[in-house]
Amino acid sequence: MKAYVFPGQAAQFPGMGKDIYESNPEAKLLFKQANDIIGFDLSAIMFEGTEEQLKQTNITQPSVFVHSVIKAKVFSKDKPDAVAGHSLGEFSALVAANSLSFEDGLLLVQKRANSMQKACELNPGTMAAILGLEDSIVEEICKKIGNDVVAANYNCPGQLVISGSIDSVKQAMDLCTAAGAKRAILLQVGGAFHSPLMKPAQDQLEAAIAATNFKNPDCPIFQNYTAMPSMDPAQIKLNLINQLTSPVLWAKTINNMLDFGVTKFSEVGGSGMVIRGMIRQINREIPTDSL
In a shared domain, residues 139 and 94: no
Query: pLDDT tens for residues 174-228?
Result: 999 999 999 999 997 889 999 999 999 999 999 999 999 999 999 999 999 999 9
Reported as type and span, the H/E element at residue 173 is: helix 166-178
- Cβ atoms of 117 and 57 within 8 Å: the answer is yes
Compare 233 and 75 and report the one with higher pLDDT.
233
**Helix (H), strand (E) at residue 277:** helix 274-282
Of the candidates 70, 72, 96, the one whose C-alpha atom is nearest the C-alpha of residue 82 is: 96
User: Same domain, yes or no, for 169 and 68?
Assistant: no
Catalytic pick among 43, 87, 168, 230: 87
Domain that holds residue 131: 126-186
- Does any domain span residue 208? yes
Distance CA(211)–CA(213), nearest Å, equals 7
Considering the domain boundaries, does residue 251 fall inside one?
yes
52: helix, strand or coil: helix
Place 272 in a pLDDT band, splitting at 50, 70 and 90.
Answer: confident
211 shares a domain with 179: no
Same domain flag for 107 and 210: yes
Please give the C-alpha separations between residue 69 and each of 5, 190, 240, in angstroms, as whole numbers: 11, 23, 18
Task: Please tell me the distance from the alpha carbon of residue 129 to that of residue 90, in angstroms, as a whole number.
Answer: 21
On whether both 261 and 182 belong to a single domain, the answer is no
What confidence score (pLDDT) does residue 130 get?
98
155, part of any domain: yes
CA distance 89 to 86: 5
More confident residue, 172 or 54: 172
Q: Are residues 104 and 148 in the same domain?
A: no
> Does residue 233 form part of some domain?
yes
Residue 271 has pLDDT above 90, yes or no: no
DSSP character string of 185-253: EE---SS-TTSGGGHHHHHHHHHHHHTS-----SS-EE-TTTSSEE--HHHHHHHHHHHTTS-B-HHHH
- The burial class, CB within 10 Å (0-12 / 13-18 / 19+), for 198 is buried
Based on the residue annotation, tell me whether 87 is a catalytic residue of this protein.
yes
Q: Which of 164, 186, 208 is the last residue of a domain?
A: 186
**Letter string b/e over residues 8-17, b meaning 16 or more CB atoms within 10 A of that residue's CB:** bbbbbeeebb
CATH number for position 152: 3.30.70.250
In degrees, to the nearest 5, what angle opens at C-alpha 206 toward C-alphas 93 and 101? 35
> For residues 211-245, b (16+ Cβ closer than 10 Å) or e, as one string?
ebebeebebbbbbbbbbbbbeebeebbbbbbebbb
Q: What is the pLDDT of residue 78?
A: 86
**Which CATH number does the domain housing residue 21 bear?**
3.40.366.10
**Could you give the number of structural domains in the chain?**
2
Structure confidence at residue 56 (pLDDT): 86
Whole-angstrom distance, CA of residue 104 vs CA of residue 44: 21
Predicted local confidence at residue 32, as pLDDT: 97
Percent of the chain exceeding pLDDT 70 equals 100
The pLDDT tens digits of the residues spanning 239-270 come to 999 999 999 999 999 999 999 999 999 999 98
For residue 98, being part of any structural domain is answered with yes
Among 186, 205, 226, give the residue marking a domain's end. 186
In a domain, 191, yes or no: no
Among residues 161, 186, 211, which one ends one of the domains?
186
Residue 226: inside a domain, yes or no?
yes
38, β-bridge pairs: none
Q: What is the pLDDT of residue 147?
A: 85
Residue 254 neighbours by CB under 8 Å, 6+ apart: 84, 265, 278, 279, 282, 283
Q: Per-residue pLDDT tens for 147-166?
A: 899 999 999 999 999 999 99
Q: Are residues 93 and 151 in the same domain?
A: no
Of the residues 43, 63, 194, 195, only one is catalytic, namely 194
Q: State pTM to two decimals.
A: 0.95
Tell me, yes or no, whether 209 and 96 share the same domain: yes
- Encode 149-182: b = buried (16+ Cβ within 10 Å), e = exposed: bbbbbbbbeebbbbbbbeebbbbbbebbeeeebe
Confidence of residue 115 (pLDDT cuts 50, 70, 90): very high
Looking at the chain, the whole-number percentage of residues with pLDDT higher than 90 is 90
Whether residues 222 and 284 share a domain: the answer is yes
> How high is the mean pLDDT of the chain?
95
For residues 152 and 169, membership in a common domain is answered with yes
Q: In this structure, are 220 and 98 located in the same domain?
A: yes
Whether residues 255 and 165 share a domain: the answer is: no
